[in-house]
């Protein structure tokens, strides 16, 4: 059996008529950039997020740095995040001209460890940038408390967790702004690149809106800006998909539960931890091989058996030799949990359109490997 890592084409086929209708609508309207479809999706996404404003932009990386820039963060400033995230989190800080300060993650959730934040705060710290990693919210109440004490901004990197929630809080409630990505493989993915900022903050709304489109508040009037627009074909795709997102995430939750039940007795691996009461939307289902020396053996065994397993992220940001170290980033403390995760992680196929047979096949192969290696 072949089990892919993504279900893009299955998803398209499942709602083909709705997507095709929106694409045709955009093509017939003749307005392909910041036209009516863009405005429609903007409204729908703000409502879905429970926030006043959504500002669509070119991609998730831009969503982060446009927000940082709108908050006045730049050269000489420090932004604290953790090192086991997609590279773009730190990259966006560097693009804004600030320094990424990388700390350890929590051993169980893999999200930023609030206890590590305090030690990393200096007179230059301006902002905390937690990531809702793999689709599970970071400990926002603890993060907000630290931010309030030290008068820091909080921006949430929610590229992986659209429709996720905490036990007592929603995404966006305990921060100044939220950045997300709509690249195809994300839970809400378009047919290419896309991103958005959602916020209740008037200033962030106004300034990111200007920055993303040549600093132009009106025709022929320009201040300082860039080009980071979401085109209307992608907005049409996203508008069609948004209606299904919650149900699709419910499917991910169902498959995660099936994996966790099926792999419960494995001796050689640790299963992902889901915080009680949180809505974890399982962008990724990441197991850890207890013995790092055997991680690649499991990965190769699954790949050889037709299962497209991957790693997220086997080279942590502080282990990237090519990153502009020095002004670009620095590390605070021992990144023990981050390094363990990089050495031990294996991501199993996770998308709403999986079938029970496929999930059971993946489980049977992991268990077969476990028997021989446990």
User: Which residues are at the interface with ligand PLP (CB under 6 A)?
Assistant: 59-61, 85-86, 88-89, 131, 157, 159-160, 181, 183, 193, 195
Q: Distance between CA 256 and CA 298 in Å, rounded?
A: 19
Going by C-alpha positions, the residue among 79, 28, 83, 34 that lies closest to residue 55 is 34
Burial of 261 (0-12, 13-18, 19+ CB in 10 A): exposed
Cβ–Cβ < 8 Å for 247, 22: no
Taking the CA atoms of 239, 257, 337 and 284 in sequence, report the sign of the dihedral they define.
negative
Q: How many CB atoms lie within 10 A of CB 30?
A: 7
Q: How far is the CB of 135 from ligand PLP (least distance, A)?
A: 10
Query: Could you tell me which residues come within 8 angstroms of residue 279 by beta carbon, excluding any fewer than 6 positions away?
Result: 137, 163, 164, 165, 166, 249, 253
Q: 4 or 192, CB closer to ligand PLP? A: 192
Cβ–Cβ < 8 Å for 121, 153: no
Q: 67 or 89, CB closer to ligand PLP? A: 89
Q: How far is the CB of 68 from ligand PLP (least distance, A)?
A: 13
Q: Which residue is nearest to ligand PLP (CB)?
A: 60
Q: How far is the CB of 131 from ligand PLP (least distance, A)?
A: 5
Q: How far is the CB of 66 from ligand PLP (least distance, A)?
A: 11
Q: 155 or 210, CB closer to ligand PLP? A: 155
Q: How far is the CB of 278 from ligand PLP (least distance, A)?
A: 17
Q: How many CB atoms lie within 10 A of CB 222?
A: 13
| DSSP category for residue 96 | T
Q: How far is the CB of 307 from ligand PLP (least distance, A)?
A: 22
Q: 191 or 361, CB closer to ligand PLP? A: 191
Q: How far is the CB of 88 from ligand PLP (least distance, A)?
A: 4
Q: 182 or 255, CB closer to ligand PLP? A: 182
Going by C-alpha positions, the residue among 4, 27, 37, 35 that lies closest to residue 242 is 37
Burial of 187-207, coded b for 16+ CB within 10 Å and e otherwise, reads bbbbbebbbbbbbbbeebbeb
Q: 127 or 363, CB closer to ligand PLP? A: 127
């Amino acid at each position: 059996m072949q089990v892919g890592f993504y279900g893009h084409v299955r998803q398209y086929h499942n709602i083909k008529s709705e997507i095709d209708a929106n694409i045709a609508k955009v093509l017939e309207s003749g307005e392909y950039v910041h036209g009516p479809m863009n405005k429609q999706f903007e409204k729908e996404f703000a409502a879905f997020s429970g926030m006043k404003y959504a500002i669509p932009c070119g991609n998730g990386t831009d969503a982060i740095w446009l927000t940082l820039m709108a908050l006045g963060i730049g050269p000489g400033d420090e932004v604290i995040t953790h090192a086991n995230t997609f590279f773009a989190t730190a990259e966006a800080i560097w693009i804004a001209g600030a320094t990424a300060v990388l700390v350890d993650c929590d051993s169980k959730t893999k999200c930023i460890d609030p206890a590590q934040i305090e030690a990393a705060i200096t007179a230059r710290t301006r902002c905390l940038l937690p990531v809702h990693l793999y689709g599970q919210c970071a400990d926002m109440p603890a993060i907000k408390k630290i931010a309030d004490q030290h008068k820091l901004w909080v921006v949430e990197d929610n590229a992986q967790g659209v429709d996720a929630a905490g036990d007592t809080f929603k995404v966006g409630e305990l921060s100044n702004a939220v950045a997300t990505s709509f690249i195809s493989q994300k839970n809400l993915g378009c047919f290419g690149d896309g991103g958005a900022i959602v916020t209740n903050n008037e200033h962030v709304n106004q300034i990111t809106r200007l920055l993303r489109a040549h600093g132009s508040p009106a025709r022929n009037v320009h201040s300082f800006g860039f080009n980071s627009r979401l085109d209307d074909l992608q907005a049409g795709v996203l508008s069609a998909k948004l209606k299904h997102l919650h149900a699709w995430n419910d499917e991910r939750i169902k498959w995660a539960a099936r994996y966790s039940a099926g792999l419960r007795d494995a001796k050689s691996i640790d299963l992902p931890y889901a915080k009680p009461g949180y809505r974890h939307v399982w962008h990724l289902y990441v197991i850890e091989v207890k013995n790092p020396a055997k991680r690649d053996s499991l990965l190769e065994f699954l790949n050889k058996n037709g299962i497209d397993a991957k790693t997220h992220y086997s080279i942590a940001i502080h282990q990237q030799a090519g990153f502009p170290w020095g002004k670009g980033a620095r590390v605070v403390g021992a990144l023990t949990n981050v390094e363990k995760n990089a050495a031990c992680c294996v991501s199993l196929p996770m998308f709403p359109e999986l079938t029970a047979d496929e999930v059971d096949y993946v489980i049977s192969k992991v268990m077969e490997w476990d028997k021989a290696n446990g």
